[in-house]
Amino acid sequence: MQIKRDDIYIHFSLHLKNPSSYPDTQRSIHVDIKCDDITDHVYSINIWTPRPTPSPATMPPKSFSHPYRRSSNASEKDFFDIPDEPCLSVAKRQLRRLRTWAIVATLLLFVMWYRRESPPPPPLPHIHYDEVDWSRFAYTQYATNEVYLCNSVMVFETLERLGSKAERVLFYPEQWDLIIEDEYDRISELLLMARNKFRVMVIPIKIEGVEGSRGIGSEASWESSLTKLMAFGEANYDRVIHLDSDVLLLQSMDELFFLPPTTVAMPRAYWLLPDKSLSSLLIVVEPSFREYNRITNDALPAKTGQIEVNVTDHRYDMDLLNARYGDSAMVLPHRQYGLLSGEFRTKDHRRFLGNDDEVWDPDHVLAQAKFVHFSDWPVPKPWVMWSQDILAQEQPRCDHNPGTPQESGCRDREIWKMIYDKYRRKRKDVCKLLSYPAPN
């Protein structure tokens, strides 16, 4: 045993009898300990065992083809490097070694499993809706007659039911009022319902429209379609969504308030392809008085009759918006924000799907859509009942054996009728109005 005073260094050796096949060989266990002289802290412990050096007498004859291993009397020919030991002992030692490694590996696997990284939580929406200042956003509607007033109220009712927190604005003709004069004054009742029940800000305005030729299929609202341009002037909001009222709203569209900055966002009028026009049935606007003045100035020639506008083909507001924003507007996906009810009546869905490979699935299409816009000419709008002749001629055809008792594959027809029936039930429940009888 040795002790040195340079810090503190201790060395001692334990000599043990080796119970192996070398009875006369001494095995030593050497222990070195170093301590700090001042703090008495141990900072180094080294335990080591020297391998015995075989004597020449015990070593087998040297083989040039299989040289001895370093510090061993075994040659490369010996696999276990333990010479002159019974095979059973060698096997047991190797099995113990394998078992030890197996146990260690099992423990490591258990620790890794126990401390495994938990699956990532579901991604959180990048928008925390509870923290949004909803007074900065609004849905707008306009109504020029009782029919479209009911449609607008139905839209607001759906927004309320879906939990939308954005503000709601309804523009109506200034000659209307909020005083219910008698039981037949449905307009005043609906305005009060919108204001009191669905938290709508009702604003009287002077309705300005486009005078155009009327024809079969023209709508009274088309001549007043420029009223939707009022959305551009709602500068007290950061963003406004204007949706046509002749729709069946299916899902909230609050996500559109958080689009990247853009003056206007509109869906593609896919039914007009290959003409890449945008549709005005949905407009997402960043309001400003500057844009409002620009767009209303663009409409002056049509408003004053300086140009002739054929509103029976398509609405003038759509032409106006495409002329100004067709090359700069953000294009919304029409599958979610531009589905027409007439898509269920056609058998050629390439313009809607955008390719020739995808298989039309009416249930999937309806599940994706935020709303359905009623457009089925010559079928009348849903507040007018069908005549049997129109229904028989214009309803969606079945895929197999149409018009026969064996017809099948009629899912398009079922969904199409369901959309119309749902609108009519809602019109009755919300507005307390029945559909108009079918025209003769």
Residue 128 lies in a domain: no
Nearest one of 222, 196, 199, 193 to 138, comparing CA atoms:
199
Whether the CB-CB separation of 168 and 156 falls below 8 Å is answered with yes
Burial bucket for residue 270 (CB in 10 Å: 0-12, 13-18, 19+): buried
Residues pairing with 248 in the sheet: 372
| pLDDT band for position 24 (cuts 50, 70, 90) | very low
Residue 240 shares a structural domain with residue 339: yes
Does the pLDDT at position 395 exceed 70?
yes
Residue 36 lies in a domain: yes
Amino acid 214: pLDDT: 44
Residue 210 lies in a domain: yes
Residue 387 lies in a domain: yes
Residue 166 shares a structural domain with residue 97: no
Residue 327 shares a structural domain with residue 180: yes
Give pLDDT tens digits for 133-155: 999 999 999 999 999 999 999 99
Residue 380 shares a structural domain with residue 266: yes
Residue 153 shares a structural domain with residue 13: no
Q: What percent of the chain has pLDDT over 70?
A: 68
Does the pLDDT at position 407 exceed 70?
yes
Residue 47 shares a structural domain with residue 80: no
Report H helices in 227-326.
289-303, 316-325
DSSP reduced 3-state for 285: strand
Q: Please indicate whether residue 25 or residue 270 has the higher confidence score (pLDDT).
A: 270
Residue 390 shares a structural domain with residue 312: yes
Residue 101 shares a structural domain with residue 7: no
Torsion angle (degrees, nearest 10) of CA 225, 228, 233, 234: 160
Residue 27 shares a structural domain with residue 72: no
Q: Please state the pTM of the whole predicted model.
A: 0.68
Can you give the CATH number for the domain in which 266 is found? 3.90.550.10
Residue 272 shares a structural domain with residue 304: yes
Full domain range(s) for residue 236? 135-431
Residue 154 shares a structural domain with residue 252: yes
How many domains does one find in the chain?
3
Whether the CB-CB separation of 382 and 374 falls below 8 Å is answered with yes
| Alpha-carbon span 204 to 173, nearest angstrom | 5
Amino acid 220: pLDDT: 47
Whether the CB-CB separation of 21 and 73 falls below 8 Å is answered with no
Residue 295 lies in a domain: yes
Does the pLDDT at position 83 exceed 60?
no
| Alpha-carbon span 164 to 407, nearest angstrom | 42
Does the pLDDT at position 342 exceed 50?
yes
Residue 62 lies in a domain: no
Residue 63 backbone phi and psi in degrees, to 5: -115, 125
Inter-axis angle of helices 146-162 and 186-197, nearest 10: 20
| Alpha-carbon span 80 to 140, nearest angstrom | 87
Residue 254 shares a structural domain with residue 140: yes
Residue 16 lies in a domain: yes
| Alpha-carbon span 139 to 128, nearest angstrom | 20
Residue 130 lies in a domain: no
